[in-house]
């Protein structure tokens, strides 16, 4: 058993080493920051970035993170400044260079909480208000502006405690339409709704509505992004349930997967389309007008999928992450396209696979203000901010004479076959900016790394 575990660790480290070596070819932007403790949550603060005071070519964005510490070590909700190039695609980031001009992640505020932070989300109408679910049954609401004046080492003192749950959980979603409306789903099979707009009057608030239809853990809840009255929930009972505030009842439900459904996300552009993430290793795409069967199933993950989120800047793009340490970006515009090369490269709709984490990816978030930028956190204590390279790989900068020993003719080779052949023949190659490459390490037939 110990040998198998060591073998697994060795494989992860080998894959990571190859990914790190090739990251300059795969990304226009890449920041990797090590936290003292792992964060199970990450969320961009819904605030327009502001110019860096010392360099106008840089901008300051903000992230919300949390801690998951060991026993007797206090936990914190954290706010971080993230320094990014104003135009990330114009700056090639090399993580191995000497004294590089690097963007960075810096923790600027820590707010004491009771219990590990399972999930934290910012109110879209007020970026200073953060809702947080912890390992306790209460949901906390913090006003970061007010909390900033409190001593960092003090006790947990949220601006509002939300009650209604009997157990902890992960589902948390602010309404994009109704300011102060906060949904929560937990392990007690309940969904609670609060209106925190009255938070100035008292510091404890009971749920205004409790919704019960699931027969097991409610894994996630999410507001519809086009209809202010609708929201969805998913759970370990494999169900996807659609709810309507006007009746406070479910209006539709379906057994969406054969295993636990962990996440649900509504398309921000199309009022009918939503996506679900499941422990069955797939992402399901559904049409609200016909929930009985999925429109399409996205399959490339090798282990359970725990999150799926639509890109706020592109209607047909979404991303998913899970236990396999991969964050996959999909473009539905490519569904049905003919593929060159082997099926193992993934389906045509798979645009990119991020492999920079060495453990399960706990959470990720798209940056609404800087297209294609994603922040992701994992159980290896890492937080990474990255933007895949934009250009589609077509050919690599190897002289044509170098192809003479290849088993696949140049004219018939896909980009992925070129990578394999180049490595097998011990060539040094440099690829074009690669936005659609499905991580080189995942298609290599030998463990040798590419060098630029």
Instruction: Give domain status of residue 161, yes or no.
Output: yes
Query: What residues contact 162, with CB distance under 8 A and at least 6 apart?
Result: 131, 138, 139, 140, 141, 182, 184, 192, 194, 196, 205, 207
- The answer as to whether 188 is a domain residue is yes
Residue 343 covered by a domain? yes
Phi then psi for residue 26, to 5 deg, are: -100, -20
- Is the residue at 430 inside a domain? no
Query: Is 1 within the bounds of a domain?
Result: no
- Asked whether residue 416 is domain-assigned, the answer is no
Per-residue pLDDT of the chain (452 residues; tens, 9 = 90+): 555 555 578 899 999 999 999 888 899 999 999 999 999 999 999 999 999 888 888 999 999 999 999 988 999 999 999 999 987 655 444 334 444 445 799 999 999 999 999 999 999 999 999 999 999 999 999 999 888 766 666 789 999 999 999 999 999 999 999 999 999 999 999 999 999 987 656 799 999 999 999 999 999 999 999 999 999 999 999 999 999 999 999 999 999 999 999 999 999 999 999 999 999 999 999 999 999 999 999 999 999 999 999 999 999 999 999 999 999 999 999 988 876 654 456 899 999 999 999 999 999 999 999 999 999 999 999 999 999 987 533 223 333 344 344 454 444 444 444 444 444 444 333 333 333 333 333 333 233 333 33
Judge whether 296 lies within some domain. yes
**In-domain check, residue 293:** yes
Secondary-structure percent of the chain, ordered helix, strand, coil, rounded to 5: 15, 40, 45
pTM above 0.75, yes or no: yes
**CA 9 to each of CA 419, 440, 441: distance values in angstroms, whole numbers, following the listed order:** 25, 19, 16
Tell me, what CATH number does 52's domain have? 2.130.10.10
Domain that holds residue 249: 30-391
Domain count within the chain: 1
């Amino acid at each position: 058993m110990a040998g198998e575990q060591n073998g697994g660790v060795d494989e992860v480290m080998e894959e990571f080493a190859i990914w790190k070596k090739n990251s300059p070819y795969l990304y226009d932007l890449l920041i990797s920051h090590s936290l003292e403790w792992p964060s199970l949550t990450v969320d961009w603060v819904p605030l327009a970035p502001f110019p860096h005071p010392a360099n106008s070519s840089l901008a300051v964005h903000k992230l919300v993170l949390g801690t998951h510490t060991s026993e007797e070590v206090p936990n914190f909700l954290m706010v971080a400044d993230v320094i990014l190039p104003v135009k990330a695609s114009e700056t090639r980031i090399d993580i191995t260079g000497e004294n590089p001009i690097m963007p960075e992640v810096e923790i600027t505020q820590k707010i004491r909480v009771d219990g590990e932070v399972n999930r934290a989300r910012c109110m879209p109408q007020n970026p200073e208000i953060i809702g947080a679910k912890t390992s306790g049954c209460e949901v906390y609401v913090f006003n970061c502006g007010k909390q900033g004046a409190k001593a960092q080492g003090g006790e947990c003192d949220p601006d509002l405690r939300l009650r209604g749950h009997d157990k902890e959980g992960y589902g948390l979603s602010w309404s994009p339409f109704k300011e102060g409306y906060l949904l929560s789903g937990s392990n007690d099979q309940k969904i609670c709704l609060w209106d925190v707009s009255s938070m100035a009057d008292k510091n404890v608030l009971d749920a205004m509505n409790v919704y019960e239809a699931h027969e097991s853990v409610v894994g996630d809840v999410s507001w519809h992004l086009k209809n202010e009255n609708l929201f969805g929930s998913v759970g370990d009972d494999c169900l996807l349930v659609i709810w309507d505030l006007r009746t406070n009842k479910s209006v539709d439900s379906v057994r969406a997967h054969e295993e636990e459904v962990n996440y649900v996300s509504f398309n921000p552009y199309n009022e009918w389309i939503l996506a679900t993430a499941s422990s069955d290793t797939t992402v399901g795409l559904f049409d609200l007008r016909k929930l009985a069967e999925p429109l399409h199933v996205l399959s490339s993950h090798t282990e359970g999928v725990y999150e799926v989120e639509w890109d706020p800047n592109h209607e047909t793009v979404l991303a998913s992450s899970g236990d396999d340490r991969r964050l996959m970006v999909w473009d539905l515009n490519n569904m049905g396209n003919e593929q060159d090369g082997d099926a193992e490269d993934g389906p045509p709709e798979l645009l990119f696979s991020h492999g920079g984490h060495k453990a399960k990816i706990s959470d990720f978030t798209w940056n609404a203000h800087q297209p294609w930028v994603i922040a992701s956190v994992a159980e290896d204590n890492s937080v990474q901010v990255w933007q895949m390279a934009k250009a589609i790989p077509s050919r690599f900068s190897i002289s044509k004479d170098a192809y003479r020993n290849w088993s696949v003719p140049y004219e018939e080779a896909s980009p992925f076959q070129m990578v394999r052949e180049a490595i097998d023949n011990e060539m040094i190659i440099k690829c074009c900016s690669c936005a659609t490459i499905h991580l080189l390490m995942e298609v290599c037939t030998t463990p040798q790394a590419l060098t630029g």
